[in-house]
Structure 1
Amino acid sequence: MTRDELIREYKVHSGTWPALVGVYALIVGTMVLSGYMMVG
């Protein structure tokens, strides 16, 4: 891969990162919340 291709790939994937992080945070938050509900 050339430098230009790497930059293009990075720009394409950089937009999906926040969405991925948000989905993971939502899943982990739901798991933690349900865990507290069971314990409490």
Structure 2
Amino acid sequence: MSALFNFTSLLQVILLLICSCTYIHLSWPSILDRNHHG
């Protein structure tokens, strides 16, 4: 039961990180572009 709970929590964290990265990329693409060029 605890393993399933840990997997669910991990999945939620991964989804949250993906959404955050997408939001940041849409909001400030210049920051990511500068990092890629540098």
Relative to the length of structure 1, the TM-score reads 0.63
Aligned structure 1 segments of 4 or more residues deviating by more than 3 angstroms: none
Q: Report % sequence identity.
A: 4
What do you get for the CA RMSD once the two structures are aligned? 0.7
Bigger Rg, structure 1 or 2: 1
CA displacement, residues 2-37 of structure 1 (integer Å, 9 cap, x when unaligned)? xxxxxxxxxxx1121111111000001100100000
Give the aligned partner of residue 2 of structure 2: 14
Point out where structure 2 has 5 or more consecutive residues left out of the alignment: 29-38
Point out where structure 1 has 5 or more consecutive residues left out of the alignment: 1-12
Relative to the length of structure 2, the TM-score reads 0.66
Q: With CA pairs under 8 Å and 6+ residues apart, which has the higher RCO, 1 or 2?
A: 2
